[in-house]
Amino acid sequence: MAKKMRETITSYILPILLLLLAVQTNAHNVTRLLSHHPSFSSFNHLLTKTYLADEINRRTTITVCAVNNSAMSALTSKGYTISTLKHILSLHVLLDYFDAKKLQQIGGGSALAATLFQATGDAPETTGFVNITILRDGTVGLRPDGGNLSSFFVKSIEEVPYNISIIQINRILPSDTASAPTRDPEEMNITGIMLARGCKVFAETLLSSHRASITYQESVQGLGGMTVFCPGDDAMERFLPKYKKLTAPKKEAFLQFLAVPTYYSMTMLKTNNGPMNTLATYGANKFQLTVQNDGDKVNLKTRINIVQIVDTLIDEQPLSIYRTDEVLLPKELFKASAVEASPPAPEDGDVADCQKPSKGKANGKKKKAAPSPDDSLGESDSPAEGPDGEADDVTADEASGAVRIVGGAKAGLVLVVSLLNLFASFWLL
Ligand X SMILES: *[C@@H]1O[C@H](CO)[C@@H](O)[C@H](O)[C@H]1NC(C)=O
Q: Is residue 110 close enough to count as binding ligand X by CB under 6 A?
A: yes
Single residue of 174, 222, 364, 389 touching ligand X by CB under 6 A: 174
SS3 labels along the chain: CHHHHHHHHHHHHHHHHHHHHHHCCCCCCHHHHHHCCHHHHHHHHHHHHCCHHHHHHHCCCEEEEECCHHHHHHHHCCCCCHHHHHHHHHCCEECCCCCHHHHHCCHHHEEEEEEHHHHCCCCCCCCCEEEEEECCCCCEEEEECCCCCCEEEEEEEEEECCCEEEEEECCCCCCCCCCCCCCCHHHCCHHHHHHHCCCHHHHHHHHCCHHHHHHHHHHHCCCCCEEEEEECHHHHHHHHHHHHCCCHHHHHHHHHHCEECCCCCHHHHHHCCEEECCCCCECCECCCEEEEEECCEEEEECCCCEEEEEEEEEEECCEEEEEECCCCCCCCCCCHHHHCCCCCCCCCCCHHHHHCCCHHHHHHHHHCCCCCHHHHHHHHHCCCCHHHHHHHHHHHHHHCCCCCCCCHHHHHHHHHHHHHHHHHHHHHC
Cα angle vertex 89, ends 83, 93, to 5°? 135
Q: Is residue 292 close enough to count as binding ligand X by CB under 6 A?
A: no
CB 56, min distance to ligand X, A? 10
CB 70, min distance to ligand X, A? 5
Binding flags for ligand X, 387-416, as an x/- string (CB under 6 A): ------------------------------
Q: Is residue 32 close enough to count as binding ligand X by CB under 6 A?
A: yes
Binding span for ligand X by CB under 6 A among 189-197, 260-268, 293-301, 404-412:
189-197
Single residue of 7, 125, 176, 381 touching ligand X by CB under 6 A: 176
Binding span for ligand X by CB under 6 A among 187-195, 222-230, 272-280, 417-425:
187-195
Binding span for ligand X by CB under 6 A among 72-80, 185-193, 246-254, 257-265:
185-193
Binders in 299-338 for ligand X, by CB under 6 A: none
Q: Is residue 170 close enough to count as binding ligand X by CB under 6 A?
A: yes
CB 233, min distance to ligand X, A? 15
CB 103, min distance to ligand X, A? 14
CB 204, min distance to ligand X, A? 10
Q: Is residue 195 close enough to count as binding ligand X by CB under 6 A?
A: yes
CB 309, min distance to ligand X, A? 22
Binders in 130-169 for ligand X, by CB under 6 A: 131, 133, 147-148, 154, 160, 163
Single residue of 2, 18, 21, 27 touching ligand X by CB under 6 A: 27
Single residue of 2, 21, 74, 112 touching ligand X by CB under 6 A: 112
Q: Is residue 209 close enough to count as binding ligand X by CB under 6 A?
A: no
Binders in 53-72 for ligand X, by CB under 6 A: 57, 60, 68, 70-71
CB 86, min distance to ligand X, A? 18
Which residues are at the interface with ligand X (CB under 6 A)? Answer: 27-29, 31-32, 35, 39, 57, 60, 68, 70-71, 110-112, 131, 133, 147-148, 154, 160, 163, 170, 174, 176, 189, 191-192, 195
